[in-house]
């Protein structure tokens, strides 16, 4: 760790504050790899921007990047507050132009090039800003993006160091670059560890080599090293470091082959030493020191198989052979009774690689169709604004096709307006006719549909009409088969009438519905005999669950030919979610969830689509695509799906868990739950005991064992919670991924927030081994 900003001579020399700030700036620029960068210099100097909250509240504020390179601030007019601050780590993105609802509503179109928005993680409000000129706005955006990206690209060890240094800075109340015993105690609480006063004094005295009563310079380095010591790493290293106390290339190869179960060569081991060894002498002798070994574990010891992180699957299979990341009631930011509707919800879903979004369309004023949850108090958003947001963000994260699932309740005229907006705004990205020159027999692939937006909705006729104009029909009535038109009550009562609701469908809207034509589902046999591959049904969760449990293989075979969309029951007024794994197990592709609701179901959804380049598509296992398959998740029989495994998990330790409560004395009591989610026979969970008052470096060394029958459908999830004897445990972080993408051996597990954002410094350290089960 570099301690340039804490040199003893600086404290003793009476250094002027501006000199200390200059030195701090330089140190942080260097840490981020931006030393002397003109963009960072621009941010340090700062400038005036207009902060926009409403049509009447638009006020000029002076913004600048603080010396720590991690805080953006502006002057405040509040009596008790000198400045407003925003953490760079909390920023999700910076958007150029009037691309937030606030800027679109409260600024003029002529100011497009002067506007930009800072979007934050979780639910913090956007920061909408206007610069004096287009050039200045671009400078702010590009400069902020550079700092954000460089911070995100720090390696795990640098992030850990960065976090600890930030906490040290907060503990240094008087800013003298020294730490008193009182400040050390405050710092320990900052990093989420509770120790006795006697232990705090013991550490302090050990590090205060000058006996000055404060820690400075090299003493702070010693204090840092003492705190970040990893005894579990020492043990592992000591086991394999058999060459004069260090790891030779042969020792490292033995570790990689025996512990990590990696099929690697001696050349690979030697290259790791060259890459990660920090001591030049050890590197010259092709030895790996303990520091180099730790650097290797931070960088190469990730739980996710690196071969599965980028796009690695065959993307040329028919569309229905893939799971598709899908959202329900995408327009909602909160619950479906009175929550706000927003284009921001579409943007957030699309940026998380959601590839199927829902648009509930209703007649609005002035002939403009609107989107909201009908017959409720949710707010409305213009349909054309939703389509513009889709146009702008559909392919920012993934180039693979996006499906717009339309729930159409509009009059004929407003349907025509909808079709007009989709064709004019989406342009060439809208798929308005089938691919090829003849009537298709199967779905095109995601690869063939790259950059295309597909419409799911009602269609007046078969796809044949696209190749024979004589078969065209004009506007006519179609049944309103969607979740808003359910005729069976949630409590199972029989409907008073069997007459289906009808709406008149505009030909213009019908004609742009190509591969996702909504139809009523009667039975699997009826669908097979009477419906084309592109005619798809939507299933309420309860109906889909019943079909999965009673006709699992039938559902699987249905999904080998067609698409199925599953949606949450209308009784979920709080926008909660069902378990998506049950639906994936029977091959359902469009398993729509409320993305706005953080919960276990969403953690599983993020885990399912984490590999394969996070592209929103994941190829189903062979046995869910093979027409001869007899697989049924509820009735396991012998077959290629049955690959019995024993999964050994050892939860060793955690590092730098976040504080949940900002109160000074709030320290977490962490526990870890390990869970397998897959076919019913594989579902299991186990958890560690909790550790008292230690979120900084708790250690469990707890071993678990799981039997897994169908690993191709299993997801592994780690959940870290703060134990509470009186109330429900508090969530700290989680991580989920397919079991098939897990690496064996000693691995670090990153932790994510409720909404799926990375907690930059926090991680688990585990040992994993997936082994064939003895028959």
Residue 665 sits in a domain whose CATH number is 2.60.40.150
324 & 434 share domain: yes
In a 13 Å sphere around the CA of 340, the CA atoms on its Cβ side amount to 8
> Annotated binding residue at 14?
no
Write out the H or E segment, with its range, that includes residue 117. strand 115-120
> Annotated binding residue at 25?
no
> Annotated binding residue at 724?
yes
547 & 410 share domain: yes
704 & 593 share domain: no
> Annotated binding residue at 75?
yes
Positive or negative: CA dihedral 658, 660, 662, 666: negative
**578 within domain boundaries:** yes
Rounding to the nearest 10 degrees, give the CA dihedral for residues 169, 171, 172, 173. 120
> Annotated binding residue at 612?
no
562 & 694 share domain: no
Task: Verify whether residue 520 is a known catalytic residue.
Answer: no
Please identify, among 152, 181, 214, the residue that sits at the C-terminal boundary of a domain. Answer: 152
The single residue of 308, 328, 409, 767 carrying the catalytic annotation is: 328
Task: Verify whether residue 328 is a known catalytic residue.
Answer: yes
The single residue of 162, 321, 373, 558 carrying the catalytic annotation is: 373
Q: What is the pLDDT of residue 413?
A: 96
341 & 449 share domain: yes
415 & 514 share domain: yes
> Annotated binding residue at 701?
no
Nearest to 313, CA basis, from 707, 741, 654: 741
- The number of beta carbons lying within 10 Å of the beta carbon of residue 15 is 17
Residues spanned by the domain of 129: 33-152
Between CA 660 and CA 103 the distance in angstroms is 33
SS3 676: strand
Pairing of strands 715-722, 670-677: antiparallel
**14 within domain boundaries:** no
49 & 103 share domain: yes
Going from the first residue of the chain to its last (775 residues), give the mean pLDDT of each consecutive group of 10, the final group possibly shorter. 39 47 61 79 93 93 88 79 83 92 92 94 85 96 92 77 72 75 81 76 86 83 81 95 95 97 96 93 94 92 96 98 97 86 94 97 96 90 96 97 97 97 98 93 97 96 81 67 47 45 89 96 96 96 96 97 95 91 98 94 97 98 96 96 97 92 75 98 97 92 98 98 91 97 97 91 95 80
- Tokens describing residue 376: 């409720």
Helix axes 156-171, 290-300, angle to 10 degrees: 100
**4 within domain boundaries:** no
Q: What is the pLDDT of residue 665?
A: 67
| pTM, rounded to two decimals | 0.89
> Annotated binding residue at 329?
yes
Write out the H or E segment, with its range, that includes residue 274. helix 266-276
Alpha-carbon Rg of the chain, whole angstroms? 29
Q: Which residue reads 């970040």 in tokens?
A: 228
> Annotated binding residue at 722?
yes
Between CA 51 and CA 220 the distance in angstroms is 40
Nearest to 247, CA basis, from 186, 213, 288: 288
362 & 478 share domain: yes
**545 within domain boundaries:** yes
Between CA 765 and CA 743 the distance in angstroms is 13
> Annotated binding residue at 562?
no
**629 within domain boundaries:** no
Task: Please spell the DSSP secondary structure of 629-642, one letter per residue.
Answer: ----TTS--SSTT-
679 & 752 share domain: yes
SS3 517: strand
CA 382 to chain centre: 28
Q: What is the pLDDT of residue 85?
A: 87
- The number of beta carbons lying within 10 Å of the beta carbon of residue 606 is 21
Residue 587 sits in a domain whose CATH number is 3.20.20.190
357 & 424 share domain: yes
Between CA 138 and CA 481 the distance in angstroms is 47
Q: What is the pLDDT of residue 123?
A: 66
443 & 570 share domain: yes
Q: What is the pLDDT of residue 472?
A: 65
> Annotated binding residue at 157?
no
> Annotated binding residue at 233?
no
* Total domains present in the chain: 4
User: Which stretches does DSSP call E strand in 620-757?
Assistant: 645-655, 670-677, 684-687, 699-708, 715-722, 730-738, 745-752
424 & 560 share domain: yes
């Amino acid at each position: 760790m570099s301690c340039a900003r804490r040199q003893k001579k600086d404290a003793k020399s009476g250094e002027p504050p501006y000199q200390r700030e200059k030195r701090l700036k330089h140190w942080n620029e260097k840490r981020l790899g931006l030393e002397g960068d003109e963009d960072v210099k621009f941010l340090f100097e700062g400038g005036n921007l207009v902060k926009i909250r409403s049509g009447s509240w638009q006020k000029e504020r002076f913004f600048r990047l603080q010396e720590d390179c991690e805080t953006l601030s502006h002057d405040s007019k509040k009596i008790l507050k000198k400045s407003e601050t925003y953490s760079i780590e909390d920023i999700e993105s910076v958007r150029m132009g009037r691309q937030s609802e606030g800027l679109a509503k409260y600024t003029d179109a002529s100011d497009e090039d002067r506007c930009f928005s800072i979007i934050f993680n979780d639910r913090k409000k956007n920061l909408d800003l206007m610069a004096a000129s287009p050039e200045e706005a671009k400078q702010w955006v590009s400069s902020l993006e550079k700092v954000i990206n460089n911070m995100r690209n720090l390696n795990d060890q640098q992030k850990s160091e960065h976090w600890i240094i930030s906490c040290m800075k907060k503990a240094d109340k008087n800013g003298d670059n020294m730490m008193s015993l009182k400040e050390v105690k405050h710092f320990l609480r900052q990093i989420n560890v509770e120790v006795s006063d006697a232990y705090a004094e013991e550490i302090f005295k050990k590090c205060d080599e000058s006996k000055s009563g404060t820690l400075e310079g090299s003493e702070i380095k010693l204090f840092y090293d003492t705190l970040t010591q990893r005894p579990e790493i020492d043990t592992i290293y000591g086991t394999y470091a058999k060459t004069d106390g260090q790891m030779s290339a042969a020792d490292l190869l033995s570790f990689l082959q025996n512990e990590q179960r990696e099929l690697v060569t001696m050349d690979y081991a030697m290259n790791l030493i060259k890459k990660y060894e920090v001591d030049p002498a050890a590197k010259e002798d092709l030895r790996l020191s303990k520091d180099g070994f730790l650097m290797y574990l931070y960088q190469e010891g990730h739980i996710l198989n690196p071969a599965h992180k980028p796009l690695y699957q065959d993307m040329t299979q028919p569309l229905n052979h893939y799971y598709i990341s899908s959202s329900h009631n995408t327009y909602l930011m909160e619950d479906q009774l009175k929550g706000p509707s927003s284009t921001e919800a579409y943007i957030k879903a699309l940026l998380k690689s959601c590839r199927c979004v829902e648009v509930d369309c209703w007649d609005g004023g002035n002939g403009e169709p609107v989107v909201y949850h009908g017959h409720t108090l949710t707010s409305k958003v213009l349909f054309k604004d939703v389509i513009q947001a889709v146009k702008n963000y559909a392919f920012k994260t993934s180039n693979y096709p996006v499906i717009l699932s339309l729930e159409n309740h509009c009059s004929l005229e407003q349907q025509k307006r909808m079709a007009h907006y989709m064709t004019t705004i989406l342009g060439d990205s809208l798929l308005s006719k089938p691919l090829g020159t003849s009537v298709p027999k199967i779905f095109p692939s995601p690869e063939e549909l790259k950059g295309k937006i597909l419409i799911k909705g009602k269609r007046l006729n078969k796809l044949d009409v696209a190749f024979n104009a004589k078969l065209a029909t004009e506007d006519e009535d179609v049944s309103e088969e969607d979740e808003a038109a359910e005729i069976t009550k949630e409590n199972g009562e029989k409907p008073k009438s069997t007459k289906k609701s009808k709406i008149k469908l505009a030909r213009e809207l019908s004609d742009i519905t190509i591969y996702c034509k909504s139809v009523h589902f009667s039975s699997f046999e009826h669908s097979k005999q009477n419906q084309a591959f592109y005619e798809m049904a939507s299933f309420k969760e309860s109906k889909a669950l019943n079909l999965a449990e009673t006709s699992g293989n039938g559902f699987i075979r249905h999904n080998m030919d067609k698409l199925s969309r599953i949606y949450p029951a209308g009784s979920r007024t709080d926008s909660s979610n069902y378990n998506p794994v049950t639906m994936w197990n029977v091959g359902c592709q469009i398993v729509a969830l409320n993305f706005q609701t953080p919960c276990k179901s969403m953690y599983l959804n993020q885990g399912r689509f984490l590999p394969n380049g996070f592209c929103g598509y994941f190829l189903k296992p062979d046995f869910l695509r093979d027409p001869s398959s007899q697989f049924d998740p509820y009735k396991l029989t012998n077959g290629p799906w049955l690959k019995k495994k024993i999964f050994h998990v050892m939860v060793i330790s955690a590092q730098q868990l976040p504080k949940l409560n900002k109160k000074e004395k709030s320290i977490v009591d962490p526990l870890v739950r390990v869970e397998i989610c897959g076919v019913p026979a594989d579902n299991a969970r186990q958890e560690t005991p909790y550790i008292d008052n230690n979120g900084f470096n708790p250690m469990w060394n707890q071993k678990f064992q799981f039997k897994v029958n169908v690993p191709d459908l299993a997801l592994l999830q780690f959940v870290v919670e703060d134990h509470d004897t009186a109330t429900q445990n508090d969530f700290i972080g989680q991580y989920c991924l397919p079991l098939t993408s897990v690496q064996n051996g000693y691995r670090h597990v990153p932790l994510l927030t409720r909404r799926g954002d990375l907690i930059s410094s926090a991680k688990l350290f585990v040992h994993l081994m997936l082994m064939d089960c003895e028959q």
